[in-house]
C-alpha cells in the first residue's frame, strides 16, 4: 500500500468532524473540490428551504409574521446567526442582497470624496465584480475611473506585499476596498493591520469576504473594519444565488445609507407608509427591497452546522487538508509542469490550493471526466478546495493520484485548452 494513502486513511480515522459528511448529499461517483465556488447541498439547508415553502403554503401572506421563522424578521435573524463567523455584533450584520448589490450600497455610503481626497484604492487582482462596482460608483459621482480608481500592484501576479498596500494609502485616497482572501491564489490579507493603517490616514476601509467567511475566524468589530460584504453560497453552502450579507461597524450606525429602500425602515414604522423614511438603527437599515425568502431559507440550516462544528475546528481541518494536498502535489507531480501558487504558510492561506499549469483548462476537463470537480481560473489556474465539512483526506489523495495519472498518460491532450462558457 502507498504510504501516503495509508497516511490519508489514518488522518480520516482521527478526524473529529467526519460525522458532518453525512449531513451533505455526497455523490459517491464524484469527488467535489469546488466548494469555494458553490458549496454542496446539506440536508439541513434542504429542510429549511422546504420549511419556507410549507410556511408559504400554510400561511400565505401571514407567513411574514407567523410560523417558526417569520419572514419579516428573517434577514436580521440570519445576520445575528452569522455575526459570530466574522467577529461582529449581532446589530452590525444583516443577510440581504448579493455581493455586488451590497458593495454598491456600502461604497455609495462610505465613498465621500472631498477636496483632493477623491480616489478609491483597490487591488489589481480583485474579482472583476468589485472593480465594476467601484468604476460605476466613481462615474455616478462624476469622477473618471481611469484617474480616480487606483490599484496596488502585485510583485508576482499572484500575491501582495502588505507594505506595498500601505504605501498606496496616500492623502488623496478616500476609500479602500480589498478582498480578505485573493480569489485565485488564496492569500489572506492582514485585515487588522491594513485597517489600522487606513484609519491612521483617515481613510475608510471595507473588505470583500466571499472567500474567507466560513473558512477562518474574523474579528471585524475589534479590528475596527468599517464595512464588509460577502456571499453565502461558497463555504456557507446556502445554495446557488443565495442571499448575500453585509456588515457595518457599530460606530457608523447613525450614518444614512447611500441607497435606501423600504426594507431598511425601522420595523415598527415600515408599514406606516410614510414618505419620510425612518431607518432602522442597526445594519438592517442597509436593506433595500423585499427580501428573497426562498433564497435565504437554506442559510438557516447551513448556519446550524457551523454552530455545531465550530469555526476553529473547521479551520484546523481545512489547514490540514490543504497542507496534505500540497505535500502530495510536491511528491507526486514533480517535473510535470505544476507550481503551487498559493501561500504555504498557514496564517496566509485560505481554504483552497491553487496550482498553475500552462495546460490548466484541458487538465480540468480531464479531471471532470475522471469524476473530480475542480475549478479553472484563466489563464492557467486550477483551484482545489477540500471543504472540511464534507471532504476527506482520502479524497485529497485520490485527486492528486488521478491528476498524476492524467499527466503520465497525457489524457488531457484529448481536450481543448480553453475554458467553457462557465468556468
Q: Is 375 annotated as contributing to ligand binding?
A: no
- Phi (first) and psi of residue 226, to 5 degrees: -75, -45
Mean pLDDT along residues 102-106: 98
All three cell numbers of 246: 453585509
**Among 351, 359, 361, 354, CA closest to 340:** 354
129 is known to lie in a ligand binding site? yes
- Known binding residue 99? Answer is yes
Cell reading at 47: 429542510
Q: What average pLDDT score do residues 16-20 get?
A: 98
State how beta strands 173-179 and 119-123 pair.
parallel
Is 16 within any annotated ligand binding site?
Answer: no
What pLDDT is recorded for position 320? 98
Distance in angstroms (rounded) separating the CA atoms of residues 278 and 271: 11
- Closest Cα to residue 396, out of 42, 11, 25? 11
As its CATH architecture, domain 47-308 has: 3-Layer(aba) Sandwich (3.40)
d(CA 130, CA 191): 17
Q: Which pLDDT score is estimated for 4?
A: 87
Considering the chain, tell me which residue range(s) the CATH 3.90.1150.10 domain(s) occupy: 3-32+310-414
290 assigned binding-site residue:
yes
262 marked ligand binding residue: yes
| Residue count (the chain) | 423
Say if residue 208 carries a ligand binding annotation: yes
The answer on pLDDT for 131 being more than 60 is: yes
Q: From 3.40.50.12160, 3.90.1150.10, 1.10.238.10, 3.40.50.720, which CATH number describes the 3-32+310-414 domain?
A: 3.90.1150.10
Task: Output the CA–CA distances (angstroms, integers) from residue 268 to 47, 193, 279, in the order listed.
Answer: 30, 40, 11
Cell (9 digits) for 130: 468589485
Evaluate if pTM is beyond 0.95: yes
Alpha-carbon distances of 89 from 54, 263, 341, 414, rounded to whole Å = 31, 20, 35, 53
Q: How many CB atoms lie within 10 A of CB 30?
A: 14
Mean local confidence (pLDDT), 369-382: 96
CATH 3.40.640.10 boundaries in the chain: 47-308
Residue 421 vs residue 76, higher pLDDT: 76
- Checking if the pLDDT of 35 tops 80, the result is yes
What the block records as the C-alpha cell of 283 is: 445594519
Give the Cα separation of 238 and 41 in Å (integer). Answer: 8
Q: Mean pLDDT, to the nearest integer, of 360-386?
A: 97
**Residues pairing with 204 in the sheet:** 175
Could you please report the per-residue DSSP string of 73-127?
A: GHHHHHHHHHHHHHT--GGGEEE-S-HHHHHHHHHHHH---BTTB-EEEEETT--
Q: Encode pLDDT of 314-352 as tens digits.
A: 999 999 999 999 999 999 999 999 999 999 999 999 999
pLDDT score of 1: 53
Q: Percent of the chain scored above 70 by pLDDT?
A: 100
Is 233 annotated to bind a ligand? Reply is yes
Angle between helices 3-13 and 393-409 (to 10 degrees): 150
The predicted structure's pLDDT at residue 139: 98
Give 420's pLDDT tier (boundaries 50, 70, 90).
Answer: confident
Quick one: average pLDDT of 83-104? 98
| Residue range 156-178, pLDDT digits in tens | 999 999 999 999 999 999 999 99
Q: What is the pLDDT of residue 310?
A: 98
In whole angstroms, what is the distance from residue 243 CA to residue 329 CA? 36
Residue 107 pLDDT class (50, 70, 90 cuts): very high
* pLDDT tens digits for range 213-227: 999 999 999 999 999
pLDDT tens digits for range 239-289 = 999 999 999 999 999 999 999 999 999 999 999 999 999 999 999 999 999
Work out the burial of residue 416: count CB atoms within 10 Å of its CB; fewer than 13 is exposed, 13-18 middle, 19 or more buried: exposed
pLDDT class of 185 with cuts at 50, 70, 90: very high
CA distance 27 to 358: 30
Looking at residue 341, what is its pLDDT? Answer: 98
Mean pLDDT of 126-149: 98
Of 13 and 421, the structure prediction assigns the larger pLDDT to 13
Q: Is 211 annotated as a binding residue?
A: yes
- CA–CA separation, 56 and 293 (whole Å): 10
**Quick one: how far is CA 255 from the chain centroid?**
26
Q: Do residues 344 and 330 lie in contact, with contact meaning Cβ atoms separated by under 8 Å?
A: no
Residue 359 CA neighbour count, 13 Å, CB half: 18
Amino acid at each position: 500500500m502507498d504510504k501516503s494513502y495509508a497516511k490519508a486513511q489514518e488522518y480520516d480515522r482521527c478526524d473529529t468532524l467526519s460525522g458532518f459528511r453525512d449531513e451533505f448529499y455526497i455523490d459517491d461517483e464524484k469527488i467535489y473540490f469546488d466548494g469555494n465556488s458553490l458549496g454542496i447541498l446539506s440536508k439541513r439547508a434542504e429542510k429549511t428551504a422546504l420549511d419556507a415553502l410549507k410556511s408559504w403554503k400554510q400561511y400565505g401572506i401571514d407567513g411574514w409574521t407567523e410560523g417558526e421563522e417569520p419572514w419579516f424578521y428573517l434577514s436580521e435573524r440570519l445576520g445575528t446567526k452569522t455575526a459570530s463567523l466574522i467577529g461582529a455584533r449581532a446589530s452590525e450584520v444583516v443577510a440581504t442582497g448579493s455581493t455586488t448589490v451590497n458593495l454598491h450600497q456600502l461604497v455609495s455610503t462610505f465613498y465621500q470624496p472631498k477636496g483632493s481626497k477623491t480616489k478609491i484604492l483597490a487591488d489589481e487582482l480583485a474579482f472583476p465584480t468589485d472593480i465594476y462596482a467601484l468604476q460605476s460608483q466613481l462615474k455616478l459621482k462624476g469622477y473618471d475611473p481611469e484617474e480616480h480608481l487606483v490599484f496596488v500592484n502585485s510583485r508576482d501576479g499572484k500575491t501582495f506585499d502588505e507594505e506595498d498596500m500601505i504605501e498606496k494609502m496616500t492623502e488623496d485616497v478616500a476609500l479602500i476596498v480589498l478582498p480578505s482572501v485573493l480569489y485565485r491564489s488564496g492569500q489572506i490579507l492582514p485585515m487588522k493591520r491594513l485597517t489600522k493603517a487606513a484609519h491612521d490616514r483617515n481613510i475608510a476601509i471595507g473588505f470583500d469576504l466571499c472567500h474567507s467567511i466560513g473558512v477562518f475566524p474574523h474579528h471585524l468589530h475589534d479590528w475596527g473594519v468599517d464595512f464588509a460584504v460577502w456571499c453565502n453560497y461558497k463555504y456557507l453552502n446556502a445554495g446557488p444565488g443565495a442571499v448575500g450579507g453585509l456588515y457595518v461597524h457599530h460606530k457608523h450606525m447613525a450614518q444614512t445609507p447611500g441607497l435606501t429602500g423600504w426594507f431598511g425602515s425601522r420595523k415598527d414604522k415600515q408599514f406606516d407608509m410614510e414618505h419620510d423614511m425612518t431607518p432602522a438603527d442597526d445594519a438592517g437599515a442597509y436593506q433595500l427591497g423585499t427580501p428573497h425568502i426562498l433564497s435565504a431559507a437554506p442559510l438557516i440550516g447551513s448556519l446550524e452546522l457551523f454552530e455545531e462544528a465550530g469555526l476553529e475546528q473547521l479551520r484546523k481541518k481545512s489547514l490540514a487538508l490543504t497542507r496534505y494536498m500540497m505535500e502530495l502535489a510536491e511528491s507526486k507531480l514533480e517535473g510535470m509542469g505544476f507550481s503551487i501558487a498559493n501561500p504555504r504558510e498557514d496564517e496566509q492561506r485560505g481554504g483552497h490550493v491553487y496550482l498553475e499549469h500552462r495546460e490548466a483548462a484541458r487538465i480540468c476537463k480531464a479531471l471532470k471526466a475522471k469524476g473530480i470537480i475542480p475549478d479553472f481560473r484563466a489563464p492557467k489556474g486550477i483551484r482545489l478546495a477540500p471543504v472540511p465539512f464534507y471532504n476527506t483526506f482520502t479524497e485529497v489523495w485520490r485527486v492528486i493520484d488521478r491528476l498524476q495519472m492524467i499527466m503520465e498518460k497525457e489524457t488531457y491532450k484529448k481536450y481543448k485548452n480553453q475554458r467553457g462558457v462557465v468556468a
